[in-house]
Structure 1
Amino acid sequence: MLGILGGMGPMATVDFMSKIVRNTPASRDQDHIQMVVCSATDVPDRTAAILGQGSDPFPAMLNALRRLELSGATRIAIPCNTAHHWHGALQAETSVPILHIVDAVADALSRQRTTPTLGMLATDGTVHAGIYQQRLTERGYVCVMPDAKAQAEVMRAIRLVKAGLTDEAAGILGREAEALAAKGCSHIAMACTEIPLALAAFDGDIGAALLDPTDLLAQACVRSCLATPQEMVREVA
């Protein structure tokens, strides 16, 4: 059973669940993956905590993790990029594997047999904590971040999505994606789970360059949940 440690934010959690369903090869209800969701909307702001401006979200995330364990989750996903700053600390508290969103991105890139320059649209917290830079650099990828002014615009757009103003956010994020492409980025990661909600209908050359880590995490979860015991052993090895 897949446990989803969600609520960060709520719309992104629902979007992630829909991507699990869409990525599951199923012809009937019974073919789909069982899921249990904790929409932990009480988790304090992750970016504020990373920047030293807010409460520690770890206790609330750990509480949500315990609820998922008690509900029978056999693997866990967190559809919030910034929350992965606490991935290691959470994994240390449980024997249930917690899939990492950046690993899902890196694995997808490796299957393309390319080493692209990757632009990042993410929260200040994700950028500041190096959540993507550290893991992707270790695997040979180059990460390009927006400059300070552009990053402020990205954060403004993320707040607009959380407020339900996705059309306004889409214009901002589209411009910033185009700016990253102009810097030579062949791929652009929508590395905040709110961003795909705004850019879902974005097309053209930029649309083709966009990577959706939420969807890639969903695909990784489906593969993990549907793996045979032998495949699971190879995966752990």
Structure 2
Amino acid sequence: MNNKVIGIIGGMGPEATADLYMKIIKATDARKDQDHFRVIIDSNAKIPDRTEAILGIGESPVNALVETGKNLEMLGVDVGCIPCITSHYFIDKIQSKLSFPILNALEEVKKYISLCYPDVEKIGVLATSGTIKTGLFEKYLTNTDIIYPSAETQDEMVMKAIYGANGIKSGNTEGEPLDLLKRASNELINKGAELLIAGCTELRLVLRDYHVNVPLIDPMEVLAKAITK
């Protein structure tokens, strides 16, 4: 039972990687230790910043992502995943260099929404500026209206909550980051969003279902359930 080996190309960020591992544990149908999957994690926090690369102000992370995947490949993983939505912009390039399949979190979110929320027409997305620029959500969530925060809210609330001096990347998961994300969420809801997607893995370290009054989808939770089937 549960004999496949799962690999996590991690470190983006370290806490989001640990959070995905916990989600995989919780999603596994297990009654004893031996019922769980073998999970191999390379938490490579040295991978260049994905948002900076997409915005053209930083080094490409592809080589480092492939190198990290190769480490997992040598250890015999059967399927892999990446706990970073922004990194999915590079997923085809990464996949082309690896022998094991990488489960695409955005593909799984598309399936999940089609199954559980088939009538939703407007989806609010909280994500990094890099992810927004790529159009990743428009690519996968077709036939829906994707709503993003205003430019000011994106910079002063979402990105500040993630990258600010008191942000999530600095280890803060309460206080200012939560307040900023709740305000950004309410803006999307006021614009007509019927559900929200936490389109950056760090966001769910802070923002919970009970903080908003519409469904809040965690792509990593969806991914964890899919990879443990």
Question: What TM-score do you get using the length of structure 2 for normalisation?
Answer: 0.92
Q: 2:216 aligned to 206, 210, 217, which one?
A: 210
Matched, 1:180 2:183: no
**Aligned twin of 1:142:** 145
Distance 1:78 1:173 in 2: 23
Q: 2:127 aligned to 122, 125, 128, which one?
A: 122
TM-superposed CA distance for 1:208, in Å, is 4.5
The one-letter code sitting in structure 1 at the alignment partner of 2:136 is I
The one-letter code sitting in structure 1 at the alignment partner of 2:114 is S
Distance 1:34 1:184 in 2: 42
The one-letter code sitting in structure 2 at the alignment partner of 1:218 is A
TM-superposed CA distance for 1:142, in Å, is 2.1
The one-letter code sitting in structure 1 at the alignment partner of 2:124 is G
Q: 1:171 aligned to 164, 173, 179, which one?
A: 179
**Aligned twin of 2:82:** 78
Matches within 5 A, 1:9-88: 9-88=13-92
Distance 1:164 1:42 in 2: 17
Alpha carbons 1:109, 1:115 under 8 Å: kept = no
The one-letter code sitting in structure 1 at the alignment partner of 2:217 is L
Distance 2:173 2:51 in 1: 20
The one-letter code sitting in structure 2 at the alignment partner of 1:19 is K
Q: Which runs of 4+ in 1 moved over 4 A?
A: none
Q: For each residue in 1:74-133, what CA deviation from the matched residue of structure 2 results, as whole angstroms up to 9, or x when unmatched?
A: 100000000011101011112311111111111111112514211000001110011111
Identical pairs, percent: 37
TM-superposed CA distance for 1:69, in Å, is 0.3
**Aligned twin of 1:151:** 154
Alpha carbons 1:48, 1:55 under 8 Å: kept = yes
More helix by share: 1
Question: What TM-score do you get using the length of structure 1 for normalisation?
Answer: 0.89
TM-superposed CA distance for 1:56, in Å, is 1.0
**3-state secondary structure, aligned to 1:3:** strand
TM-superposed CA distance for 1:53, in Å, is 0.2
Distance 1:97 1:105 in 2: 17
Give the gaps of 5 or more residues in structure 2. Answer: none
Give the gaps of 5 or more residues in structure 1. Answer: 224-237
Distance 1:126 1:133 in 2: 11
Q: For each residue in 1:172-201, what CA deviation from the matched residue of structure 2 results, as whole angstroms up to 9, or x when unmatched?
A: 00111111111111110001000000113x
Q: 2:199 aligned to 191, 216, 223, which one?
A: 191
**3-state secondary structure, aligned to 2:141:** helix
Alpha carbons 1:115, 1:141 under 8 Å: kept = no
Is the alpha carbon distance of 1:188 and 1:113 closer, same or farther for their aligned partners in structure 2, counting shifts above 3 Å? Answer: closer
TM-superposed CA distance for 1:25, in Å, is 1.1
